[in-house]
Structure 1
Amino acid sequence: MAESTTTRARRRGIALWCYLTALVTVPLIGVGVLTTLIAGARSAEVDSAARADQGVRAVAGLDALRAATEQEILPALALTVIDDPAAAQQLGVQPWLLGTVRSTAEQALAERRTLTDQALAAVPEGSLGSAVVGRVDEALAWLRARSDAGDVRLEQIYLGYLDISNEVMTAERAAAAAAVSEGVPARTVRAVQDVQTVAQLAQDAGRQMPLYLGSLFAPDDALIGSRLAWETGWLSYTDAKRQMDELSSGSLRTAWQEVRQSDLMTELDTLLTPSDAPDEFVTDTTRMTDLLFSSGDRDMQLAGLVDTAVDTAVTLAAGDREEAAADLRTTLQVGVGLLLLSVVGAVWMGRTVSRKLGVLAGQATQISQGELVEVEVDGPREVRTVSAALGEAVAGLRRIQDQAQAVARGDLDDALLDQPLPGPLGEVVHASIQQIVSSVRQREELQFALAHRATHDPLTELPNRAQALTLVTSALHRARRSSEMTGLLFVDLDGFKAVNDAHGHAAGDTVLRKVAARMRSLVRAGDVVCRLGGDEFVVLVEPVETERDLQELAERLIAGVSEPIVVGGATVRVGASIGIAVSRDGGADADVLFAEADTAAYRAKQHGRGRAEVFDEALRSALALRAETEAAITAALGNGEMRLHYQPVVDVADQRLHGYEALVRWQRDGVFVPPDEFIPVAEMSSLVCDLDRWVLGEATRQLAAWRAEVPPVPGEPEPTMAVNVSGRHLTDPRLVTAVADALAASGLPPHLLVLEVTETVLVDDPVAMTHLSRLRDMGVAIAIDDFGTGYTSIGQLRHMPVDTLKIDRSFVTSPDPGQRELVALIIRAAHTFGLSVVAEGVEEPLQLQRLRQQACDHAQGFLLHRPLPAEAAGALLRPVPDGVPAPRTDGEPVPAS
């Protein structure tokens, strides 16, 4: 009876394979969920393909709108030119004949406007490009109304249509980007890119005729009529044609070649190519009309290419959508089939894997806890397969562990790091490790590059001033231990400014690079050539046998530097004046050695240039005198001997007071010391920083006092205060704090303070640029003093943190017509970059008249006001009662700093 009960109990028990089957059911559910997720992903792909299709169609509609808008430009410009009597006179035709042409242009403009309106209406609401339609509609309505009324200039019409075209092109690019961002296939991406390439060509081609006609009829100072605008547009057009050779569609390339080789395209390209020959310009009305129609036919051919590219992209996008839908159906079928097979397999596998699952589960538990144990491969084939796979996973984890340990200990060259790991997960992990290794190496390279940049001149790749000081200090330390002589040659180029003035700053940069290369080739292997900035170099020589060796080296350097240099087809020459300083046992300080070599170079220049001078006792006496002067300046700052005079800066248009420039004066024992006797001494040491801080504090305090005495009139501009900041102070880490302290102490608003700096410091020292950017963030204005005498090119102005250019007096006072044209060019360039201009050294009424004609903003000079003491300068701010003569500001000239 008991046996029968036990048997029944055993039979009532559930078999192991049932438990296994139930256990496998959980992964089956996962398979079902995964199938659902994959199907959802495929469905998302269908939606993405649909959105991509919409994006491509939006690109098509926007490009049609862009092309139609640009088709309005020529007839609109033609009507403006026809209505211009100057254009009729230039064409040499009678007004009645232009009237006939005008009717044709009006008809063409009406037709083009109708096409543009249709293109606007064709962009569906809610599409990717619909947001721009409203803005374009408003802009077109405004521009058409102004153009029809005739109260806009030629370039305003052109720029207005150009802005609309650019806005539509921007929206078109955004729609294209949205289309390709949906994960579409590469062929569709390339097709969309083809559309943008052809559209860009059509846009650039459509702008050639307005620019060409503008260059014929617009005034010389008009933007659209400038030769530069024509040539720039032609460069964009030719670059767009080159891009057409990279089209991915063979049929589209073939169609392009047919258009490109057509007589129409060839004739227009030949005519519109920038040329200096005036006989190539169209000056005949009939020819002009034919040219306009030819340009329109050419634009229609290019529009046909755009339509072809758009049709290809739309077709591919639609195909992508259908393909995504087919993938979704296939995914659902495969998922359901796999799910059914998994159920059957689970039931079968549950009956065969029961015996070894316990051992395998235990090993898996150990592995999951981070113990990389050896997996025993035993049991049925299925279990063996699982065991083997688990063992391979353990092997992969061990390899990952070894690679991670190699990275952790910094062994980036270990061959183990180059061994890939199996499977997709292994590829991801290996890629991550390789990325870590690459990031570490890039960081090391970046650190090296930053260190190199901080210690080397970017133009010549020579060590810079800071690195030169470090190298000389190290050399002196070595000489102190070895009791050997160390030499320093200070090389100052002669005639370099003339090269810059005659050939431009780019040529000057080339000369500096070639001079640096020549100097490196002339020194010994252990000697070092450094560039201090501008046209100043030093050569560190160690060890030195005799002073004669240094003199011979200096003579070789002078001869090598003086050899002709070919720059841009022109031959230029520069020379060199060299000062030699020697430390016999390394006992001298690096700054002292630099000062001695600099002093010797200065004497070489005084004695006729192109020679070498050795620092001797006479120069040592001069240095001693300089030290005495420095001590006197220090005492003067403490004893209140320094004064500020203020030279007014006036508006050129109405000669109203615009502001002041603070100029430091030294009243020593009742006599004013000329600025050129003490300011250069201060600039040779850190003493100039103390002097600058005093000037900052006094100048801001004085302007604040004037504002309190004569409150500003609401709505009227307030006078500013300009303060010169030396190059040494500009790189001082305490500069920003000094300016902030001066403003805080005086209560002066930051925007009324103008800091004047030399352009040489801006070009040579990146720290100066950083400090100026921080000062501008505070609200302080920045001006480049003596612009034109340094190495700054006009193109660099857009990247500099400056607000004002001060044109050097040598340009303003020069009788040379070329110099006057240069002044006008600087003024126009500064205004283009949003900068104001101050002309220095105005001494004659004719100079002021020219500056007014050239639209210069402000001026200063003896013609207007001399530098004044504080009381006289402040009197200019006080209102003058009727009948009372204005305060006089004339007097004996005071040397300007």
Structure 2
Amino acid sequence: MRRTPDEGRRQRRGGPLWRYLAALVLLPLVGVVVLTVAAAQARAAEVAGAERAEVAVRALALLDAARSGVEQEMIPALTLSIVDDPVAAAALGLPTFFLRAQEQAALDEAARARTSTDAALERLTGNPVAAEAAAHAAEDVTKLRRAYEGRRLGIEELHLRFLAVSNDLMAAQAAAAVAATSEGVPVATMRAVSDVRTVAQLAQATARQMPLFLGSLLVDDQEQLIGSRTAWETAWMDYRDAQRRMDTLSGEPLREAWQEVRASDVVADLDGLFARGLAGEVRNLALPDLVVALLQSQERGTLLAGLVGTAVEEARSLVEADRARAEDRLQAVLVMGAGLLAGSVLGAVLLGRSVTRALRLLAAQATEISQGSLVEVEADGPREVRTVSAALGSAVAGLRRIQDQAQAVARGDLDDALLDEPLPGPLGEVVHASVRAIVTSVRQREELQFALAHRATHDPLTELPNRAQAVTLVTSALHRGRRSGEMTGLLYIDLDGFKAVNDAHGHAAGDEVLRAVAARLRAAVRPGDVVCRLGGDEFVVLVEPVHAEHDLLDLAERLIASVSRPVAVGTATATIGASIGVAVSRDGGTDADVLFAEADTAACRAKAHGRGRAEIFDETLRLQLAEQAELEAAIAHGLAGGEMHLVYQPVVDVASDRLTGYEALVRWDRPGVGAVPPDRFVPVAERSGLIRDIDRFVLGEATRQLAQWRAATPVAPGRPEPTVAVNVSGRHLADRRIVADVAEALEASGLPARLLVLEVTETVLVDDPAAYDHLTELRGMGVGIAIDDFGTGYTSIGQLRSMPVDTLKIDRSFVASAEPAHLELVALMIRAAHTFGLTVVAEGVEEQAQLARLRAEACDRAQGYLLSRPLPAVEAGALLRRDALAAPAG
């Protein structure tokens, strides 16, 4: 790889190696000095922090002494207030001589407590952590003493003022503890400081108990009593909570000391007294009990003060140890810095000798790699140079792996295990992610292609090969049979009673039955045989090779028995059957379409002979199939040669006998044969697909003829225009081209869509969702929809509400019947249709009595031989003209 001129200039501007080596000599020396100074400063800061922590711990001890003194001074002060308050003295039931004695004792105790408090506050003035708090406390205590000495404060206010001073000192203690632990002290020291706070909090809570307890005994007023009791209960809960926190003490000696204090008789007696007082069992105290309680309270305070002193001493010893260790570390840093400085000078000299050769070698290898040669990198020289060499070697190895993965992708080897190996570093991650994305994209494309191919060749409901794939498989089997000379068999399976399952249980149940049938067919055939679904309720089984025809019949019987077993559909059970047609190709010379047609013909004969059986295609069926093929060809020829025409049967208004429209019927006059009945050629056209061509012919001719009559014979104003009805087969209606065929016929003729009526059978509406959707779209165009032969299928009257239909045509079998049940059914159909806004047309009216009944039931329209036979176009047009002339003017 060639370097650009800029790269060459940059390389030439680089300094010589000796300059860098000189820098390597100087930089470590400077670094050692800087690091030594920084480390020494850090150690000095650590020493200063330890000293500040020591000062804070001392402040913590002095603050606790001051707080203890204030709380000790509170008891005699409160005692003096009680002595001067006759109400309080009376509440305690104390004699006068005892009060005078307690007064002097209180004065002595107050003087002693003052001395202790003042001494602690005086010592705090020189401590920077607590000096300010000590000054505020000294000022507050001085004011408080003046107030209670002058007897200017009540008992409760005096108590609250003392508590305020105690709280301020306790807050100062908390601040001192924070200051002691904020200097980065070890965990053990932090725990010791925390122990001091815990013990101090217990001492404070203990000191407050006796005043509040006595206060709860002195109050007579109910409201004051409630407040005093509440304060006493709160103090008791604080005391108990402080006791529980003592269980968290970290120092073992301190825990042992606490356990001794806790187990003392003084603490036990006072806790028992206060617990009884909290329960309301102590209303007042006798003089001896009061004296004992006060003495015990002072003794307990002394014990806890000693416990605080123990905690402070332990914390102080730890802080002093921390300071000593910090000073030792500072001395070690200074010594180590001097040693490092000397060692750096020596190391720089040695490094200068070894690094030059290693760097030159590394530079040469890096140059080769930059030019695209993935050479092996030699690691030599100092550790740092070896590290760079190893890193460069790793980079080369990574590039080799990238190269290998790129080559694997290029040759299409997507399953190579190398592609799953990650690549090192951020660049490797990006490259490997790109490689994986390419591999994933290619695999997804292959999977999508496979899925699309599978979808194109398989039925989505049963996952069986579909009709197109079945033809392909049969064709391939026939080719193999032609080469091997073996027989190939095809079983055409047509389910019996499947429509009844749809009608009785719904289409979802029908789908479940089809899946069950598919599973049973797969389970019943040999591993090499193939089951396919052609559509609807039709299946085929391709069998190869076939050893004898009776083997196929045996298989067909087994399939019939398997399919005929009941199928669980939700909570219900459905039962169907199967009719099977068997066709055999003996040498593979048969065409696939022919083999399908033979099997289908045999299945039709099985159905015609009673269903639930198997028939094999024989010579008789071959003749029938040949006749059918000949008839199909003749139908196609007749459509192309103009042999088919339409006749029109009039549809008459029952009430007025006026003409309302026609039903267009196809007729075939076959040369040399004569008129071919519709029931002869229409079923053949249905099976072959020619029915769509016939439907298109009828649509085009009927719409053209009515448009011509409409132009020649205008309808009188105010009268409805005649319509033309065209029968559309289910096969055509399911074809997506039906909508376009109708639109093209209307556009070619110019006939308004509202004058065209499409007649369909019930089964088309019920069985084929696509046909249903197409009818909805056609109705949206304005075309009328009629249900033909209503009553012969499985449609319930209630379904009429949601169907896309406008007209109901009652089958001729109901119209012609004189049975009372049929007469009532006809009346019910008419009323239901009118309820849903449908027009009713009765088919096959041949007698006056039938017409009279229809008129009596308010049937809208009728058609039949009584009214008119189907007429050629000329006569039908003349009938329309006569009807128009007979219409009353205006």
What TM-score do the two structures reach when normalised by structure 2?
0.47
The structure with the larger Rg is: 2
